[in-house]
């Protein structure tokens, strides 16, 4: 059978539980405050954007390095057999865009 508690023990227990409840309510109040919520959302958004931008930057860097390795040799000299076709395609695309723009105007 459990031991009977004195009124002083019961009162001390009530005071302790009230303090714990007050701390819990304060913590909930801070967490649910609009500024806290907005700050958390902003931090998550910034983190997600940073992560996405970092991945995009790494991908672009990898593509640039691949293109650089394809068009130039290890010493930095252009590879004519690869640069010339790319240049011709670029000139062709620019020509087609200019012709298309000219047709739309006239």
Whether the predicted pLDDT of 1 surpasses 70: no
What pLDDT, on a 0 to 100 scale, did the predictor assign at position 56?
Answer: 95
pTM: 0.46
User: Which pLDDT value is given to residue 106?
Assistant: 64
pLDDT digit string, tens, across residues 65-96: 998 888 888 888 888 888 888 899 999 999 99
pLDDT recorded at residue 14: 97
Write phi, then psi, for 78 (nearest 5 degrees): -70, 150
> How far is 68 from 77, CA to CA, in rounded Å?
10
pLDDT score of 79 = 87
pLDDT in tens, 19-73: 999 999 999 999 999 999 999 999 999 999 999 999 999 999 999 999 888 888 8
CA dist., res. 18 & res. 101, Å (int): 77
What gap in Å lies between CA 82 and CA 49, rounded to an integer?
A: 36
């Amino acid at each position: 059978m459990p031991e009977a508690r004195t009124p002083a023990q019961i009162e001390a227990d009530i005071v302790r539980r009230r303090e714990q409840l007050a701390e819990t309510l304060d913590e909930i109040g801070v967490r649910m405050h609009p500024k806290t919520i907005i700050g958390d959302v902003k931090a998550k958004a910034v983190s997600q954007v940073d992560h996405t931008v970092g991945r995009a930057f790494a991908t672009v860097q990898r593509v640039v390095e691949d293109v650089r390795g394809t068009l130039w040799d290890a010493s930095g000299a252009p590879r004519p057999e690869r640069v010339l076709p790319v240049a011709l395609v670029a000139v062709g695309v620019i020509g087609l865009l200019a012709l298309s723009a000219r047709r739309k105007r006239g």
